[in-house]
Amino acid sequence: MNDWLIDDDRLSVERKSLLPGAGFFTPDSFEAEREEQEVAETLTGSDVVVVADPDADGLACVALLREHHGDAAFVPAGPHKLDDAVAHLAEYAERGVDAYICDLCPDERDDLDGLAALTERADSVSWFDHHQWEPTATERVREAGVELVVGDSDEECSADVTLRSLPGEFPDRFGELAAVTRDHDLWLREDPRSDDLADYAHWEEPETYVETVREHGADLPAEVEEFLAERRVEKEALIEKAVERAEIREVDGTMVGVTYGRCSQNEVAEALREQGAEASVIVKPAGSASIRGTDAFERCHEVAGQVNGGGHPKAAGCKPDIYDDMLDYAHHWTTQGAVAKQAILDAFRRLPDEPADDAEE
């Protein structure tokens, strides 16, 4: 494949919003081999290691752990790479390491057999999170010998949990960092700095983000604000495209906004809420989708749980298991996610009349 076919810089905003980024076209096998090699190099000689989701919440946890320990190796892992990350730690971490897992929640798909090997290899293994945990997941993690702390997903982000779980005092900027991170992660939207943190974590390299917030907390320096202003020109254009494509449907009494596009899902969901949506579904070109709720709909995690995902009552993610080959993806792009949209709307329809009981913490 010619590189120019997937070169974002040459695409119009309209076409860019319809297609996944260049990374989508890298085979998983190649990525897996590269990631394993990077993890092995990262862990060599490290006494402390943290596996975390590389979003603003997970990276705030990394900053806190580095402040607490003086240093910590960081291994990024999204929700669907959790089992691989645990297995890599069990194989490559130094013996006697202090290991942490932050802002990640296992589900029934994850093979966490590596946890037992990790707890044998490590001096300690701690897990700080705030997602909705199933009792079976809680049990198997604790039975492996892991110190597990799960916060209330309606009240805390993982940075909050990490901050209160680590011994000792932290400078005030870390408490403020956790609070502003929570504002975005729980979709409270009361502090404008929370959008800055979320965007900066998304656009900047994780190591740079961690060191910046470790030094400055939630008050990002002027050069970062300039960087964000430049990147937001295109961001706003992609948001506008997704909002233009949206439609609002009534699904069993719930007004659901549905759209497609490569975009910032939170801002799109807010725009749809202003148009009357009680819940929003934003399907991405890469095949995944974000589900966002409001005070009128707090069952996003129940919807996502039916379509290969999970999350929080007001914010969840999923990737419906509907892609068997590249023709399915071609259909996905040319129909603007029609099959994925239908799969998720069907999950809304299958919700029981009463919300599921909260998972054990």
Global pTM reads: 0.79
Whole-number pLDDT of residue 228: 97
Strand partners, 259: 282
Neighbours of 37 (CB within 10 A): 11
Domain boundary assignment for the chain? 45-220, 238-349
What's the topology of domain 45-220? Answer: inorganic pyrophosphatase (n-terminal core) (3.90.1640)
Whole-number pLDDT of residue 359: 44
Q: What is the distance between the alpha carbons of residues 16 and 38, in angstroms, rounded to a whole number?
A: 30
Whole-number pLDDT of residue 158: 98
250, amino acid identity: E
CATH architecture assignment, domain 238-349: Roll (3.10)
Whole-number pLDDT of residue 337: 98
Q: Compute mean pLDDT per 10 residues along the chain, 361 residues long, and list them.
A: 80 93 82 88 96 97 98 92 92 97 84 88 97 90 95 95 97 98 91 96 97 98 97 95 97 97 94 97 97 96 94 92 96 98 98 71 41
Whole-number pLDDT of residue 360: 42
Q: Torsions phi, psi of 173, nearest 5?
A: -65, -25
State the Cα torsion 26-30-31-36 to the nearest 10°.
Answer: -170
